[in-house]
């Protein structure tokens, strides 16, 4: 569509003015309040109708009383020039459209400018500053909707068809409609069904036939629901049908085994017989109570009921006493062991958190301490021996130094006289150094070395009595003293280490021995180990006694259980089992005496009958025990609850079978999107099957209705049935037609949506190209991430929030141009820009004019502006500029005088 001319009779400030428009890019220049926005509003009013008067919208009604409206010349392919004439006071503002000499209405105009409507015209083909601030319209869903509305994807014809389908359906049925055909038919059906129900309630003898008819009608309703479900499945095309809740219920039903119906019947029969015997026993007991009224015979009849088990229990008295004695002996032995354990615990102060120590580590530590003490004594004896040995040597040195004071001075050494002492010295040193390797032999080696040294000095003294010999004797004594002092120092260091080790060992043993002297530790440990051994012995003895007592108690447990039936009749509570035996024996003896005295009384006969019935019932329970155990039943009293549970499980399985029969055709297996697409043909076949079933059920229902009619005294009910049948047929025809149109419209909408999704990448590519031109290459790409629009340059990406106001305007304008470029082969509407560059600097304005000049080669662009700078850029790129202030004639000149 191209706008050729606007003739304004009266609209806002304009009256009796004409405006001609170029087919390409153009700028309509005028200062503020010159009517640029009014001209845009006039074009929108001519195409889509006059705006409604509100307090928040400007009123364009002429103040001079002129006619409110005018004419708009547009060009629509293939009709050529079309004139749209619209006046507010004429035909309630409806348009009169002149097409090729003929006059038509605005419906023709709306149809032939589709998909253009007022919303699309404002959102895509109009650039106003307030619209450029609507960043929220840059979401992925909004872009999809605009693509569908534009019909760029080839969806225009489909949208028109969808509109026709929806319009036709609106004439047939609305959810809240009152006068539409299907609404009225449904309302009439409800009233008719109420009349039928009232009539049926009056004829009770026909209820059975009516129930059958109602059941068939219910089945028909189910089949119709199935048919409707198939329609909905076909309509949705990619969605599951409405039976999903039933499918989930079916899947949630547990696949648990249920008792065989024959077994259940056998249990039910047994339970009925058991109940009959119980009831008979109750009656006999009531008769016996009447005969024995006033007599203390309860214990006697209790004895008659339990005479045999009582005698059997008394026959086992010897075995019970033997086990009881064994239990008593075990408990006495256990008590004695516990007493001994308590004495040991008291003696040693043992507790559960401080059990007896493990003595082997303590014994080992004590042995190591003894070894250390032995070694310490050896060191002390060696130190004493060395001290005794050093005393004569010190006396010799002192004597020689007193006799020869010059010995302390330095003199020359003799060469040969010291060889033998040196050898002795080497032996002594080797004895001490290698003592840890030689063991006891080190003292022998050291002794030999000392003997050699002493012998050498004696020889030197005997061989010479000169001062030199005296000096050598003095030096030998000093050497021996040095060796002794060195050994004493080593022994002293070793003694200190030994003492430290002894102290550490004793400190580690103090928690066990306490303040006891170390000399008594060994005896204390022996006594402690003896107590530990006794403790363990008594522990084992107590465990064995406990085990024996438990075994005896376990052996007595079955006998104890045999006394349970008699607890309410005899004083057996808190009694030993031997005492219980004695009490029971006395009771049996007493009852036997009563029995002998009452053998010929009627109550005795009744008691015998009661005993027989109880035995019969007990035998029956024993005979059915295996059957009951198969179902986990221990007592007949549990059968009632079990039967209820079985019936519930049976109903659940029946429900599962019903759901399986219903849902298996719908959910034969898990499906995916591709499979659902292939289900279209199968759904059509299923529809035919369901309709055939409805026909069969309808025929059956009609047969039953004829039978009812034959038995009626009058034809009122038959007439109502006939009316209902005809009305249902009419409703079915209307519903099928309505559903078919709904289904077709849904399919066309889905196809349109899919086509728009294919066009979205092309839109982003085109918008990216225009955005790069508007920003002079600063941004190169527009794309989506997680449904949010972002822009990118060569190195990084930016969210819309990070952009400046001018860049945001450029982004929205680039997307608008992207829309228009996708449908450039058949333009839908001109592009109208009303001062959409208020946030642009000079560079951005020039980039926009350059883009508009290029875009105007293949598209009609109408710019409305009061910006003088835009005029200069339009003139720079040789684009037409019109001055709104100089009237219509100057518009044709395409010039402006600055």
| Domain presence at residue 851 | yes
pLDDT of residue 737: 85
**Ranges 142-156, 280-294, 529-543, 753-767, most confident:** 529-543
| Domain presence at residue 544 | no
Spatial distance between the Cα atoms of 708 and 196, rounded to a whole number of angstroms:
13
Residue with tokens 């509109």: 163
**pLDDT tens across 110-168, in order?**
888 887 888 878 877 887 766 555 555 555 455 545 544 444 444 455 666 677 777 88
**DSSP code per residue over 147-171:** HHHHTTTTTHHHHHHHHHHHHHHHT
Q: Which residue has the higher pLDDT, 747 or 12?
A: 12
Spatial distance between the Cα atoms of 632 and 626, rounded to a whole number of angstroms:
10
- Find the helix or strand (DSSP H, E) in which 73 lies: strand 69-76
Helix axes 419-433, 441-463, angle to 10 degrees: 160
Banded pLDDT at 73 (limits 50, 70, 90): very high
Spatial distance between the Cα atoms of 282 and 277, rounded to a whole number of angstroms:
9
CB 234 within 8 A of CB 683: yes
Residue 244 has pLDDT above 60, yes or no: no
Closest residue by Cα to residue 45 from 32, 33, 56, 59: 59
Spatial distance between the Cα atoms of 852 and 862, rounded to a whole number of angstroms:
10
Q: Which residue has the higher pLDDT, 459 or 59?
A: 59
Helix extents (H) in 105-243? 106-112, 118-123, 129-132, 140-150, 156-170, 181-202, 207-236
Spatial distance between the Cα atoms of 94 and 854, rounded to a whole number of angstroms:
37
Banded pLDDT at 328 (limits 50, 70, 90): confident
**Ranges 16-25, 506-515, 543-552, 743-752, most confident:** 16-25
Closest residue by Cα to residue 87 from 66, 62, 72, 69: 69
pLDDT of residue 410: 44
- Find the helix or strand (DSSP H, E) in which 11 lies: strand 2-11
Indicate the burial class of 421 (C-beta count within 10 angstroms; 0-12, 13-18, 19 or more): buried
Closest residue by Cα to residue 449 from 461, 463, 438: 438
CA angle 639, 308, 617 (to 5 degrees): 25
CA quadruple 831, 835, 840, 845: dihedral, nearest 10: 60
| Domain presence at residue 131 | yes
Residues contacting 421, CB < 8 A, separation 6+? 452, 453, 456, 457, 472, 476, 479
Q: Which residue has the higher pLDDT, 698 or 666?
A: 698
Average pLDDT over residues 288-314: 70
Closest residue by Cα to residue 870 from 883, 885, 857, 887: 883
| Domain presence at residue 875 | yes
CB 121 within 8 A of CB 48: yes
| Domain presence at residue 106 | yes
Q: Dihedral sign for Cα 685, 689, 690, 691, please.
A: positive
Structural domain count of the chain = 1
pLDDT of residue 370: 81
Reduced DSSP (H G I as helix, E B as strand, rest coil) percent helix, strand, coil of the chain, to 5: 70, 10, 20
| Domain presence at residue 89 | yes
CB 829 within 8 A of CB 125: yes
CB 269 within 8 A of CB 584: no
Q: Are strands 80-87 and 69-76 parallel, antiparallel or unpaired?
A: antiparallel
Average pLDDT over residues 304-309: 79
Spatial distance between the Cα atoms of 592 and 605, rounded to a whole number of angstroms:
16
| 3-class secondary structure, 54 | coil
CA angle 612, 615, 617 (to 5 degrees): 110
pLDDT of residue 246: 61
Q: Are strands 861-865 and 831-834 parallel, antiparallel or unpaired?
A: parallel
| 3-class secondary structure, 28 | strand
| 3-class secondary structure, 62 | coil
Q: Are strands 25-29 and 881-883 parallel, antiparallel or unpaired?
A: parallel
pLDDT of residue 570: 84
CB 445 within 8 A of CB 438: yes
| Domain presence at residue 464 | no
Q: Which residue has the higher pLDDT, 470 or 67?
A: 67
Q: Which residue has the higher pLDDT, 897 or 199?
A: 199
Please give the structure tokens belonging to residue 494: 């070793």
Query: Model-level pTM?
Result: 0.38
Residue 437 has pLDDT above 70, yes or no: no
Closest residue by Cα to residue 531 from 331, 336, 334, 346: 346
Q: Are strands 102-105 and 69-76 parallel, antiparallel or unpaired?
A: unpaired
**pLDDT tens across 163-194, in order?**
777 788 788 888 877 788 888 888 888 888 88
Spatial distance between the Cα atoms of 315 and 692, rounded to a whole number of angstroms:
81
Helix axes 317-348, 577-597, angle to 10 degrees: 160
pLDDT of residue 150: 45
| Domain presence at residue 847 | yes
Average pLDDT over residues 726-741: 85
pLDDT of residue 435: 58
Question: Which region among 21-25, 319-323, 448-452, 569-573 has the lowest average model confidence (pLDDT)?
Answer: 448-452
| 3-class secondary structure, 771 | helix
**pLDDT tens across 384-431, in order?**
888 888 888 888 888 888 888 777 554 434 444 556 667 767 766 766
Say what percent of the chain tops pLDDT 70.
Answer: 77
Determine the length of the chain.
Answer: 898
**DSSP code per residue over 585-643:** HHHHHHHHHHHHHSTTSHHHHHHHHHHHHHHHHHHHHHHTHHHHHHTT--SGGGHHHHH
Banded pLDDT at 461 (limits 50, 70, 90): low
CATH number of the structural domain spanning residue 89: 3.40.50.300
Residue 71 sits in which domain range? 2-140+830-890
| 3-class secondary structure, 385 | helix
**Ranges 548-552, 589-593, 612-616, 750-754, most confident:** 548-552
For the CA atoms of the chain, what is the radius of gyration? Answer: 61
**How many other C-beta atoms can be found within 10 angstroms of the C-beta atom of residue 123?**
19
CB 469 within 8 A of CB 457: no
Q: How far is CA 593 from CA 297, 298, 602, 658, 842, in A?
A: 13, 15, 18, 68, 132
Closest residue by Cα to residue 732 from 224, 195, 287: 224
**pLDDT tens across 532-565, in order?**
788 888 888 888 888 888 888 888 888 888 888 8
**pLDDT tens across 834-860, in order?**
887 877 888 888 889 998 998 888 888
CB 784 within 8 A of CB 791: no
φ, ψ of residue 101 in degrees (nearest 5): 85, -5
Banded pLDDT at 238 (limits 50, 70, 90): very low
CA angle 318, 322, 327 (to 5 degrees): 145
Per-residue DSSP letter, 50: P
């Amino acid at each position: 569509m191209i706008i050729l001319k606007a003739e304004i009779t009266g609209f806002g400030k304009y009256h009796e003015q004409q405006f001609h428009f170029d087919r390409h890019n153009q700028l309509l220049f005028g200062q503020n309040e010159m009517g640029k926005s009014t001209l845009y509003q006039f074009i929108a009013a001519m195409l889509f109708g006059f705006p409604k008067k509100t307090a928040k919208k400007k009123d364009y009604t002429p103040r001079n009383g002129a006619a409110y409206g005018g004419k708009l010349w547009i060009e629509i392919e293939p009709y050529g020039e079309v004139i749209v004439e619209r006046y507010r006071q004429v035909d309630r503002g409806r348009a009169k459209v002149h097409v090729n000499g003929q006059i038509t209405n605005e419906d023709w105009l709306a149809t032939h400018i589709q998909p253009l409507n007022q919303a699309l015209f404002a959102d895509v083909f109009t650039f106003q500053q307030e619209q450029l601030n609507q960043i929220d319209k840059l979401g992925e869903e909004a872009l999809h909707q605009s693509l569908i509305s534009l019909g760029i994807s080839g969806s225009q014809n489909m949208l028109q068809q969808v509109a026709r389908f929806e319009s036709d359906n609106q004439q047939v049925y609305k959810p809240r409609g009152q006068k539409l055909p299907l609404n009225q038919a449904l309302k009439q059906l409800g009233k008719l069904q109420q009349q039928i129900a009232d009539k049926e309630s009056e004829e009770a003898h026909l209820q059975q036939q009516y129930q059958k008819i109602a059941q068939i009608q219910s089945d028909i309703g189910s089949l119709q629901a199935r048919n409707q479900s198939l329609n909905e499945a076909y309509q949705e095309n990619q969605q599951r049908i409405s039976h999903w809740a039933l499918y989930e219920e079916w899947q949630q039903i547990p696949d648990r085994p249920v008792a065989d119906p024959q077994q259940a019947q056998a249990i039910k029969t047994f339970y009925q017989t058991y109940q009959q015997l119980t009831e008979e026993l109750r009656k006999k007991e009531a008769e016996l109570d009447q005969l024995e009224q006033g007599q203390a015979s309860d214990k006697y009849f209790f004895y008659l009921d339990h005479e045999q088990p009582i005698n059997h229990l008394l026959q086992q008295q010897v075995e019970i006493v033997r086990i009881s004695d064994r239990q008593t002996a075990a408990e006495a032995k256990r008590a004695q062991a516990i007493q001994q354990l308590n004495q040991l615990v008291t003696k040693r102060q043992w507790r559960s958190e401080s059990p007896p120590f493990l003595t082997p580590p303590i014994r080992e530590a004590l042995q190591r301490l003894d070894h250390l003490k032995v070694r310490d004594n050896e060191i002390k004896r060696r130190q004493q021996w060395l001290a005794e040995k050093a005393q004569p040597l010190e006396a010799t040195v002192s004597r020689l130094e007193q006799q020869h004071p010059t010995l302390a001075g330095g003199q020359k050494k003799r060469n040969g006289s010291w060889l033998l002492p040196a050898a002795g010295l080497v032996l002594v040193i080797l004895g001490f150094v290698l003592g840890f390797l030689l063991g006891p032999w080190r003292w022998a080696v050291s002794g030999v070395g000392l003997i050699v040294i002493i012998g050498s000095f004696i020889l030197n003294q005997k061989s010479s009595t000169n001062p030199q010999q005296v000096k050598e004797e003095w030096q030998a004594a000093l050497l021996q003293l040095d060796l002794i002092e060195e050994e004493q120092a080593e022994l002293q260091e070793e003694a200190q280490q030994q003492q430290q080790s002894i102290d550490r060992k004793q400190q580690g043993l103090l928690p066990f021995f306490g303040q006891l002297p170390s000399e008594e530790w060994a005896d204390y440990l022996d006594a402690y180990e003896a107590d530990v051994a006794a403790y363990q012995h008594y522990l084992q003895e107590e465990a064995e006694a406990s085990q024996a007592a438990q075994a005896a108690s376990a052996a007595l447990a079955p006998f104890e259980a045999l006394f349970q039936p008699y607890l309410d009749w005899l004083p057996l509570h808190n009694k030993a089992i031997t005492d219980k035996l004695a009490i029971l024996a006395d009771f049996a003896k007493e009852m036997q005496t009563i029995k002998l005295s009452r053998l010929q009384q009627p109550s005795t006969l009744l008691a015998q009958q009661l005993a027989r019935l109880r035995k019969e019932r007990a035998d029956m329970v024993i005979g059915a025990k295996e059957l009951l155990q198969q179902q986990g039943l221990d007592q007949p009293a549990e059968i009632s609850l079990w039967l209820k549970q079985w019936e519930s499980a049976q109903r659940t399985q029946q429900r599962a079978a019903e759901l399986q029969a219903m849902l298996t055709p719908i959910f034969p297996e898990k499906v995916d999107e591709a499979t659902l697409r292939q289900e279209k043909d199968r759904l059509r076949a299923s529809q035919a099957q369901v309709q055939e079933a409805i026909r069969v059920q309808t025929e059956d229902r009609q047969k039953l209705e004829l039978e009812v009619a034959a038995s009626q005294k009058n034809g009122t009910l038959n007439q109502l049935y006939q009316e209902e049948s005809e009305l249902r047929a009419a409703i079915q025809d209307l519903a099928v037609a309505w559903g078919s149109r709904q289904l077709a419209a849904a399919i066309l909408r889905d196809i349109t949506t899919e086509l728009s999704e294919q066009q979205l990448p092309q839109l982003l590519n085109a918008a990216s190209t225009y955005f790069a031109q508007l920003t002079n290459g600063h941004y190169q790409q527009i794309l989506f991430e997680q449904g949010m629009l972002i822009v990118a340059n060569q190195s990084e990406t930016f969210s819309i929030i990070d952009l400046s106001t001018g860049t945001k305007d450029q982004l929205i304008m680039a997307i608008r141009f992207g829309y228009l470029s996708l449908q450039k082969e058949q333009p839908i509407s001109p592009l109208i820009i009303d001062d959409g560059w208020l946030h642009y600097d000079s560079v951005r304005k020039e980039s926009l004019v350059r883009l508009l000049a290029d875009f105007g080669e293949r598209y009609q662009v109408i710019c409305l502006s009061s910006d003088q700078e835009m005029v200069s850029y339009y003139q720079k790129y040789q684009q037409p500029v019109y001055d709104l202030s100089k009237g219509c004639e100057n518009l044709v000149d395409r010039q402006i005088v600055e």
